[in-house]
């Protein structure tokens, strides 16, 4: 019988099995995160919701971030077409 892992923990994502991204909700910047480094710091049993408030955006410095397992879509300005 295999041990069932709680959802939304670093252990459920595994070491590199799924990509993990930090996404800033303020400026929409995103960057890939190394799961192994997060596990060393917070432990494999840490929930993604517990880790996200401790992250800081590298672009704007905001602490309003989330951890997601897929790359956020790039948004574009409807008037000029530039990414934001």
Instruction: Give residue limits of the domains in the chain.
Output: 10-68
pLDDT tens per residue, range 33-70: 998 899 999 999 999 889 999 999 999 999 999 998 88
65 CB-near residues (< 8 Å, 6+ apart) = 22, 23, 24, 25, 52, 53, 55, 56, 57
pLDDT in tens, 7-35: 688 888 876 677 889 999 999 898 999 98
Average pLDDT taken over every residue of the chain: 82
Q: Which secondary-structure segment (H or E) carries 35?
A: helix 35-42
Task: Report the predicted TM-score, pTM, of the whole model to 2 decimal places.
Answer: 0.71
How does DSSP classify residue 25?
Answer: T
């Amino acid at each position: 019988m295999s041990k069932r892992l709680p959802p939304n923990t670093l252990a459920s994502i595994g070491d590199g099995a799924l990509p993990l991204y930090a996404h800033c909700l303020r400026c929409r910047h995103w960057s890939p995160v190394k799961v192994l480094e997060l596990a060393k710091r917070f432990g494999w049993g840490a929930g993604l919701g517990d880790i996200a408030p401790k992250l800081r955006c590298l672009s704007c410095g905001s602490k309003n971030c989330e951890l997601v397992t897929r790359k956020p879509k790039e948004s574009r300005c409807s008037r000029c077409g530039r990414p934001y």
